[in-house]
Chain A
Amino acid sequence: GQQVMQIPQYQHVQEGEDFTTYCNSSTTLSNIQWYKQRPGGHPVFLIQLVKSGEVKKQKRLTFQFGEAKKNSSLHITATQTTDVGTYFCAVRDNYGQNFVFGPGTRLSVLP
């Protein structure tokens, strides 16, 4: 089945520091989505990447799709306490139908 890994599993940063999480797939992807889940909350869609090498920005968040379309990264500049949560990537499965979610990276931000 589709293999999706995310690293790191956990990340603790001081407020103001940068943060990056990586999503890696065993196969070439058609697209990739990123979701954020706050503690006690539910996953909320952040963005979708489709093109090889694509870079998209949302304020302090920068999303990148690898040139080979096998990996992606989410970078947060100058983290804030509101960034706390688990960040999931989701990739379309081998049959091109449903999305498979990665295990997530849990971010803690110390004030």
Chain B
Amino acid sequence: ETGVTQTPRHLVMGMTNKKSLKCEQHLGHNAMYWYKQSAKKPLELMFVYSLEERVENNSVPSRFSPECPNSSHLFLHLHTLQPEDSALYLCASSQGRFGETQYFGPGTRLLVL
């Protein structure tokens, strides 16, 4: 499945580093999402973009900064993260934003030291 790609697949960073996660979808979808998946919690929705505009921000700390330059690309900029931010970060896309089928990327496994 190559409809939604994410890079890097693995990332180790220190708490003072700045890094970015990239997501690209090749499905012609209009909505894109960032989710956080950690070991002991269900999938947590972080951000939703529809037609390149951010429409949802579920009280995510400001050390996570999303960017959606066009409908095919989504970034998550990371700075001064905490060890508890270590998790699998999943990108997803859907045709529309109103709860339609979501197609997930493979995720970026992030470890914050």
Distance, CA A97 to CA B33, complexed state (A): 13
Interface of chain B: mostly helix, strand, loop or mixed: loop
Residues in B53-90 with C-beta less than 8 Å from chain A: 56, 90
Known: A42-B90, A103-B42. A96 touches B105 (CB 8 A): no
A10 at the interface (CB under 8 A from B): no
Contacts of A48 in B (CB 8 A): 101
B32 at the interface (CB under 8 A from A): no
Distance, CA A45 to CA B92, complexed state (A): 11
Q: How would residues 80 to 107 of chain A score, 1 for a CB under 8 Å from any chain B CB and 0 otherwise?
A: 0000000010101000111111111000
A31 at the interface (CB under 8 A from B): yes
Distance, CA A97 to CA B50, complexed state (A): 12
Whose C-beta in chain A lies nearest to the C-beta of B45? A98
Q: How large, as a class, is the contact surface on chain A?
A: 20 to 34
Inter-chain contact A101/B43, CB cutoff 8 Å:
yes
Inter-chain contact A99/B42, CB cutoff 8 Å:
no
Residues in A7-53 with C-beta less than 8 Å from chain B: 31, 33, 41-45, 48
Other-chain contact of B43, A43, A44, A96 (Cβ < 8 Å): A43
Inter-chain contact B99/A44, CB cutoff 8 Å:
no
Inter-chain contact B42/A101, CB cutoff 8 Å:
yes
Contacts of B1 in A (CB 8 A): 44
B21 at the interface (CB under 8 A from A): no
Inter-chain contact A97/B90, CB cutoff 8 Å:
no
Contacts of A33 in B (CB 8 A): 101
Min CB gap B5→A, angstroms: 11
Inter-chain contact B99/A31, CB cutoff 8 Å:
yes
A interface list, Cβ under 8 A from B: 31, 33, 41-45, 48, 88, 90, 92, 96-104
Q: List 23 A-B contacts (CB under 8 A).
A: A33-B101, A41-B106, A42-B90, A42-B105, A42-B106, A42-B107, A43-B90, A43-B92, A43-B102, A43-B104, A44-B1, A45-B102, A45-B103, A88-B42, A96-B98, A97-B97, A98-B45, A98-B97, A98-B99, A99-B99, A101-B42, A101-B43, A103-B42
